[in-house]
Amino acid sequence: MDAKKYLEEAQVDAILIYNGSNEDLNFYYFTRLLYGGIFEGSFAVITEDGVKVITSKLEEQSARKGKNEVFVYSSSSEREELLKKIVGNAERIGLNYDSLSLRDFHKLRDILGDREYVNVAEKIMEWRMVKDDEELNLMREAAKIASEVADSIPDFLVEGMREYELAARIAYEMFKMGAEDVAFTSIVAFGENAAEPHYLSGERKLKRGDFVLCDFGARYHHYNSDITRTFVFGRASEEQREIYYTVLEAQKLGISLVKDGAHGSEIDARVKELIDSTKYKGRMIHSTGHGLGLAVHDHVGLSTQRDLVLREGMVVTVEPGIYLPGYGGVRIEDDVLVRKEGREVLTSARKDELIEA
Ligand code: GLY
Ligand code: MN
Ligand code: MN
């Protein structure tokens, strides 16, 4: 979409994105400066004639590799002058209220004076939800890195290792494959710790018969993947197998329902219905999935709490789980691109058989 169209749809004269006290991921969305540079304290200004970047000398070289007009400052007063000049006499200014700190807002208002400031956060998220080819290619690579590492996890398991050691190994392997960062702090949970969906890796040592739940992702040029695989270290019990295959069936059902026009809330309901029809009724304690992109929890996804009509180009996770406190749990998660006729699963790690490592 061109700059004019953005402004028309948001009904503003300019959109001002400040990568200030808080990192604003929209800065990368509009500028596509995805291949280098931190851009701390930088502005992206969307005006009728394009996206303009105001940045410091620290990332001038990176900024000039992009397609935007670049303005470089060497002092804060120069930055303010540039901002005033570029915003010009725009009256209605769109801001991202979800990221801009109150302090930064006051600072901006001091510089630009009394104008009409409008929250365009939701509008931008609407645009961000549908990914274009450049974004999808980066997400495919992020998914490939995480998938290959997920497939190698059984080879990394050693009796007595601690959860944080496995988390470190997963991160190391992803960096070695070109990830610029982990997408989020990895969740590595052994045994009973797998019963907590948002557990963080700790000191628990790996024992025979443990569940090994690994939920992690790669960040590749600002775009994320998010995958979960659950294994058993040693021989699995009947109960462990039953939990695993119940989750697998629910996850496959969820994936099969993803397509253009489907309602996220219905997919969540159908997945939970399946789990609730087994002896694990009520043990799936989160929604089926979320949107994925520049942020890991990018936007609403597959949830009965808030509906989303899926559209071609959106990427959502499908990640049902069963959690039994004191015993353990299983989650299986993939990243799924919505297609006109169906879907493309971006993550590819093995899951069809419970792996006894
Ligand atoms: N890492 C949390 C999630 O899968 O959403
Ligand atoms: Mn995850
Ligand atoms: Mn997820």
Question: What is 262-318 written as a DSSP string?
Answer: -BHHHHHHHHHHHHHTSTTTT---S-SB-B-SSSSS-S--B-SSS--B--TT-EEEE
Cβ atoms of 283 and 275 closer than 8 Å: yes
Sign of CA pseudo-dihedral 144, 145, 146, 152: positive
Tell me the pLDDT tens digit for each residue of 112-132: 999 999 999 999 999 999 999
Task: Name the residue type at position 215.
Answer: D
Per-residue HEC secondary structure of 302-336 comes to: ECCCCCCECCCCCEEEECCEEEECCCEEEECEEEE
Residue 155's pLDDT band (cuts 50, 70, 90)? very high
Structural tokens at position 334: 């993939």
Pinpoint the residues of the chain covered by CATH 3.40.350.10: 3-128
Residue 266's pLDDT band (cuts 50, 70, 90)? very high
Distance between Cα 147 and ligand 2 center (Å)? 12
Tell which CATH architecture fits domain 3-128.
3-Layer(aba) Sandwich (3.40)
Q: Which residues contact 226 (CB under 8 A, 6 or more apart)?
A: 146, 183, 184, 215, 216, 217, 292, 296, 317, 319, 333, 335
Tell me the pLDDT tens digit for each residue of 55-92: 999 999 999 999 999 999 999 999 999 999 999 999 99
Nearest residue to 142 (alpha-carbon basis) of 176, 172, 178, 171: 178
pLDDT score, position 1: 79
For ligand 1, whether the C-beta of 24 sits within 6 Å is no
pLDDT score, position 81: 97
Q: Which ligand is nearest to the CA of 150?
A: 2
For ligand 1, whether the C-beta of 333 sits within 6 Å is yes
Pinpoint the residues of the chain covered by CATH 3.90.230.10: 133-345
To the nearest whole number, what is the mean pLDDT of the chain? 97
Ligand 1 atom with the smallest distance to the CA of 226 is: 4
Distance between Cα 182 and ligand 1 center (Å)? 13
Tell me the pLDDT tens digit for each residue of 158-174: 999 999 999 999 999 99
For ligand 1, whether the C-beta of 184 sits within 6 Å is yes
Q: Which residues contact 168 (CB under 8 A, 6 or more apart)?
A: none
For ligand 1, whether the C-beta of 13 sits within 6 Å is no
Question: Mean per-residue pLDDT for 329-346?
Answer: 97
Tell me the pLDDT tens digit for each residue of 294-337: 999 999 999 999 999 999 999 999 999 999 999 999 999 999 99
pTM as predicted: 0.96
pLDDT score, position 147: 99
Domain 133-345, CATH 3.90.230.10 — does that match? Answer: yes
Distance between Cα 193 and ligand 3 center (Å)? 18
Distance between Cα 290 and ligand 3 center (Å)? 6
For ligand 1, whether the C-beta of 215 sits within 6 Å is yes
pLDDT score, position 315: 98
For ligand 1, whether the C-beta of 319 sits within 6 Å is yes
The pLDDT of residue 146 is above 90:
yes
Q: Which ligand is nearest to the CA of 317?
A: 3
- Which residue's CA is the closest to the ligand 1 atom numbered 1? 215
Structural tokens at position 55: 């940045």
Distance between Cα 36 and ligand 1 center (Å)? 26
Question: Mean per-residue pLDDT for 270-296?
Answer: 98
Ligand 1 atom with the smallest distance to the CA of 216 is: 1
Distance between Cα 69 and ligand 1 center (Å)? 37
Distance between Cα 185 and ligand 1 center (Å)? 10
Q: Which ligand is nearest to the CA of 185?
A: 1
